[in-house]
Amino acid sequence: MPTVPVHIRREVNEWNVLLDKKANGDVPDNLKQAIEKSHEADLQTARYEAEDLYYAYGWSNDLEKRVISHIEMNPNFSSQVIIDLEQQEAVFVLANLNSTAPSLIAHNIYGSMNGNPMKPFNYDDSNIVMDWVFSFLVLLAVISVIHKALKLMRGSRSGLLNERSGRRKRVGAGIHLIVRLLLLVLILIWPYLIHYNYYMISVWMSYSVFVWIGLAAISCVLSMVLNLKRMAALRSR
């Protein structure tokens, strides 16, 4: 079952209180059973990840080692938790940035707790790459919007045209208008084409993605306005 970010502080506090009570043995039996049940993978509904490793109730569950873990990321936060149900030991690593470092650090610490040597690592972060890519696209979109806005303010400067060239330019402007319209629709609906939505993007992706979507949509609209004005000017000649 997929996880979703919890934004309601009251629910987080209630969950923390339950965990504290569980540690002190004060949790009612029905809630204790629910917590313990969330640490078990139902093989009929759990998602298979690897040999003896399943994903269920928000946990990656290693059935053989009886270890559960969970990694969490959003544009401004990342974390990794590893809980050894057999040894009753746990590792929690939190970071106030979107990074794979907490996961690598947590696994290093857990390995050290089990007698394995600490390993040096260099973390990579696909989200940083995504932010660089979309920041570059934002820059291109800003340039495009400014260029088209200036063209709109200057107005049309087309010279005299004969009938054949005028017809050809009207057809070209019409095709350009249709292409821009299709591109605008694609820009607005692409998250749904990859089974995402705008809420998912706001939580799990860089904010530069949202900025690019907005600027790219504005650029397409300006292109459509320019083409409509051009077609109107060509028809009036």
> pLDDT (tens digit, 9 = 90+) per residue, 88-117?
888 999 888 777 888 889 999 999 988 888
**Angstrom distance (rounded) from CA 209 to CA 230:** 31
Provide the token pair at 102.
């907490």
Secondary structure (3-state) at 181 = helix
Secondary structure (3-state) at 43 = coil
CB 194 within 8 A of CB 205: no
pTM of the model: 0.60
Q: Write down the pLDDT at residue 45.
A: 60
Residue 110 neighbours by CB distance under 10 Å: 20
Beta strands in the chain (DSSP E): 47-50, 53-56, 59-62, 67-74, 77-84, 89-95
> pLDDT (tens digit, 9 = 90+) per residue, 33-71?
766 766 676 666 666 666 667 777 778 888 778 888 888
Domain ranges of the chain: 9-113, 126-235
Please list the pLDDT of the chain residue by residue as tens digits (237 residues): 334 444 445 555 666 666 666 666 666 777 667 667 666 766 666 666 666 677 777 788 887 788 888 888 776 788 899 988 888 888 999 888 777 888 889 999 999 988 888 888 777 677 778 888 999 999 999 999 999 999 888 875 555 455 556 677 778 888 888 999 999 999 999 989 988 888 888 777 778 899 999 999 999 999 999 888 888 877 776
Q: Write down the pLDDT at residue 157.
A: 58
Residue 163 neighbours by CB distance under 10 Å: 8
Kindly list the distances between the CA atom of residue 172 and the CA atoms of 108, 137, 165, 176, in Å, as whole numbers in the listed order: 61, 26, 10, 6
> Tokens 């995402």 label which residue?
196
